[in-house]
């Protein structure tokens, strides 16, 4: 996968100004492949550094193509980078068509593989996944349509994504698993389900099966964080109740005591109400945590006016009856970890975590 290294005439007058002009293009290429903004930023930086370093060697007209190739290489090398495996997900879940006109064969193959992998899902799985990922329908409204619960839909989506990742890899490698056990093992690894992995004795199979050993590499460490999330769009009063019920459901599934479940639901109620009150809309994302131990994470974000003085709003003694009345100190007492990030005029994100007690 060695990139074509265009070698230009030395001493060209391409300066940093030309490289700066490439930023939007590089951003677009990277963003189309890397959904996580922080990672994308890193990669854009890296790409620009490389381009800048090579700028003197590149022919003036070739700078743009060079940047495109470099950006793609940077992204590809990240994919290979073990440490960044987790951020790999977009390869499978990013169903947006590539935007840059220069996206080449790789992208087309990618899409073909995803399309092929999609056909291997059941109709229902495919429909739900596409509704969620492409149309952006949230788990709660999907649940309402399917006569299920948001938690169950999220769990099903996780399984579907896990399957899709496995099928995608099989399609793109153009292989069929040699044994009956391969798919279950790959699936268990893809979904990050430790119990299932033990049940199918995944570790042993990976020792015996070369194909699975190879395919499992990009799958390891996936199926975490965003995969286990239940999302509730928040707009109205009723959504406050829906958000806390979703949290209640996930917390119960995680084995929290009824007391803790109530504490969590109450905290969610408090922070979700702020979205309805102060911002037009927002969302609450409830995530199961497995590492470093079992717990629940709740992120409530909005694009509202923001909180001018977060420290003040968090101060204990700012009771809910008086003062700012955001209920933040109260909610903080109910949880183990609590963080508020807010920018005036841009919005607020409250992140809170509760860990499961031992035993």
- Which residues sit at the interface with another protein, rule CB under 8 A? 236-238, 240-241, 244-245, 248, 258-259, 261-263, 265-266, 269-270, 273, 276, 319-321, 325, 327, 329-331, 333-334
Asked if residue 245 lies in contact with residue 213, where contact means CB atoms within 8 angstroms, the answer is: no
The span from the CA of 131 to the CA of 128, in Å, is: 5
**Rounded to 10 degrees, what is the CA torsion of 77, 183, 107, 65?**
10
Rounded to a whole number of angstroms, the minimum distance from the CB of residue 154 to another protein is: 21
Picking from 69, 91, 49, the residue whose alpha carbon sits closest to that of residue 7 is 69
Asked if residue 89 lies in contact with residue 34, where contact means CB atoms within 8 angstroms, the answer is: no
**165 versus 248: smaller Cβ distance to another protein:** 248
**131 versus 324: smaller Cβ distance to another protein:** 324
Q: Is 287 left (phi over 0), alpha (psi -120 to 50) or beta?
A: beta
The span from the CA of 319 to the CA of 205, in Å, is: 57
Rounded to a whole number of angstroms, the minimum distance from the CB of residue 254 to another protein is: 16
The span from the CA of 316 to the CA of 322, in Å, is: 12
The span from the CA of 220 to the CA of 165, in Å, is: 11
**45 versus 236: smaller Cβ distance to another protein:** 236
Rounded to a whole number of angstroms, the minimum distance from the CB of residue 273 to another protein is: 6
**216 versus 245: smaller Cβ distance to another protein:** 245
The span from the CA of 73 to the CA of 78, in Å, is: 8
Distances (CA, A) of 256 to 198, 199, 253, 297: 23, 24, 8, 13
Here the tokens at position 272 are: 């979700």
Rounded to a whole number of angstroms, the minimum distance from the CB of residue 271 to another protein is: 10
Rounded to a whole number of angstroms, the minimum distance from the CB of residue 87 to another protein is: 36
Rounded to a whole number of angstroms, the minimum distance from the CB of residue 274 to another protein is: 11
**194 versus 235: smaller Cβ distance to another protein:** 235
Picking from 197, 233, 229, the residue whose alpha carbon sits closest to that of residue 216 is 197
Rounded to a whole number of angstroms, the minimum distance from the CB of residue 40 to another protein is: 37
**49 versus 236: smaller Cβ distance to another protein:** 236
**170 versus 279: smaller Cβ distance to another protein:** 279
Quickly count: other Cβ atoms within 10 Å of residue 333's Cβ.
11
Rounded to a whole number of angstroms, the minimum distance from the CB of residue 279 to another protein is: 15
Q: Percentage helix, strand, coil, to 5, in the chain?
A: 60, 10, 30
**183 versus 356: smaller Cβ distance to another protein:** 356
Rounded to a whole number of angstroms, the minimum distance from the CB of residue 284 to another protein is: 14
The span from the CA of 89 to the CA of 103, in Å, is: 19
**54 versus 340: smaller Cβ distance to another protein:** 340
């Amino acid at each position: 996968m060695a990139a074509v290294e265009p070698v230009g005439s030395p001493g060209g007058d391409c300066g940093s100004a030309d490289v700066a002009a490439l930023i939007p293009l590089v951003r677009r290429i990277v963003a189309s492949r890397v959904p996580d903004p922080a990672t994308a930023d890193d990669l854009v930086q890296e790409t620009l550094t490389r381009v800048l370093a090579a700028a003197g060697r590149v022919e003036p007209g070739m700078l743009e193509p060079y940047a495109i190739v470099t950006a793609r290489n940077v992204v590809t090398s990240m994919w290979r980078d073990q440490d960044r495996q987790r951020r790999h997900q977009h390869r499978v879940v990013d169903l947006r068509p590539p935007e840059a006109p220069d996206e080449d064969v790789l992208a087309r193959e990618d899409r073909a593989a995803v399309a092929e992998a999609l056909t291997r899902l059941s109709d229902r799985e495919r429909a739900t996944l596409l509704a969620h990922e492409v149309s952006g329908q949230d788990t709660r409204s999907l649940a309402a349509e399917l006569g299920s619960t948001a938690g169950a839909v999220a769990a099903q989506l996780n399984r579907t994504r896990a399957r899709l990742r496995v099928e995608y890899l099989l399609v793109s490698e153009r292989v069929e698993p040699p044994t009956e056990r391969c798919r279950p093992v790959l699936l268990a690894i893809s979904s990050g389900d430790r119990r299932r992995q033990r049940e199918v004795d995944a570790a042993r199979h990976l020792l015996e099966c070369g194909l699975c050993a190879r395919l499992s590499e990009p799958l390891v460490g996936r199926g975490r964080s965003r995969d286990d999330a239940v999302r509730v769009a928040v707009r109205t009063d009723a959504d406050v109740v829906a958000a806390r019920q979703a949290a209640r459901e996930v917390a119960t599934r995680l084995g929290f005591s009824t007391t803790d479940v109530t504490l969590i639901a109450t905290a969610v109620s408090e922070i979700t109400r702020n979205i309805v009150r102060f911002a037009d809309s927002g969302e609450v994302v409830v995530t199961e945590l497995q590492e470093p131990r079992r717990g629940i994470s709740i992120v409530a974000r909005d694009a509202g006016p923001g909180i001018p003085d977060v420290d003040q709003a968090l101060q204990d003694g700012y009771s809910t009856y008086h003062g700012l009345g955001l209920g933040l100190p109260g909610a903080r007492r109910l949880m183990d970890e609590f963080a508020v990030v807010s920018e005036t005029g841009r919005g607020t994100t409250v992140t809170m975590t509760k860990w499961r007690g031992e035993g």
